[in-house]
Amino acid sequence: MATDEIEPINVQNWQLKITKEFSPNYIRIVQGMLSIAFDRAIVLGLAKKNPSRMIGNIKSKKTKVDFWTLEEFQKVISLLYKGDYYEHYLFMSFWLLFMTGMRIGEAAALQWSDIDFETGMLSITKTLYYKTMTDYKFVEPKTQASIRTLYIDADTINELKVWKEVQQKILPKCKLILSYNGTPTSKTTLPRALENLRN
């Protein structure tokens, strides 16, 4: 359709069609871009109205985030044997995520230099952008509020010290905390491991 032929009903039909494929939050972003495009079309004389703004955007949907209870957490880590190198890595990963509330991308980007073992302070200054085991980079978090310092409890500090000793025997030059092979943990590694533990 030509830009000036698109009516509000066409935009509404398009909205309804894509709700079957995409999340409300994603559709809101796309429609926001569509509204900007129509605003530009008006400036350029290609349209007289903005049907996207006339219809309005769809309602946003708050993403439900599931949190582990202490009981669920204890159940998971009790299944892991720290005498096994890979299971010790999983243990440390789940422990650190649960005790700090960090996102996986933040935890995966953590380096040993980000922890002060004396004071128990942990600096979160970056997150992981991960494509493959060889294609990844550390980037600044999306918001300034994501850059923060956390205080870690004594048990977590002790667990980290033990893990560092174990990891460094196998990977003496590894700078990453949550790594069993020298590369960062991908977003799928831990959920997949969790699924295997449940089965």
Range list of H helices, the chain: 8-18, 24-43, 51-55, 70-77, 85-100, 104-108, 154-170, 189-198
Residues 79-88 pLDDT 10s: 999 999 999 9
Name the residue with tokens 């398009």: 14
Tokens matching residue 42: 């008006």
CA angle, 186 as apex, 21 and 129 as ends, to 5°? 75
Rounded distance between C-alpha atoms, residue 79 and residue 75, angstroms: 7
> What's the rounded Cα separation, in Å, for the pair 160 and 112?
9
Q: Which of 49-58, 88-97, 136-145, 181-190 has the lowest mean pLDDT?
A: 136-145
pLDDT grade for 90, boundaries at 50, 70 and 90: very high
Sheet with 121-124, strands from edge to edge, namely 115-116, 121-124, 148-151
pTM (2 decimals)?
0.65
Ordered structural domains, the chain, with CATH: 3-55 (no CATH), 70-198 (1.10.443.10)
Residue 166's region, left for phi above 0, alpha for psi from -120 to 50, else beta, is alpha
The pLDDT tens digits of the residues spanning 2-35 come to 888 999 899 888 888 888 888 877 888 888 888 8
Q: Record the tokens describing residue 71, joined without a space.
A: 């009981």
Which two three-digit tokens encode residue 152?
A: 């870690």
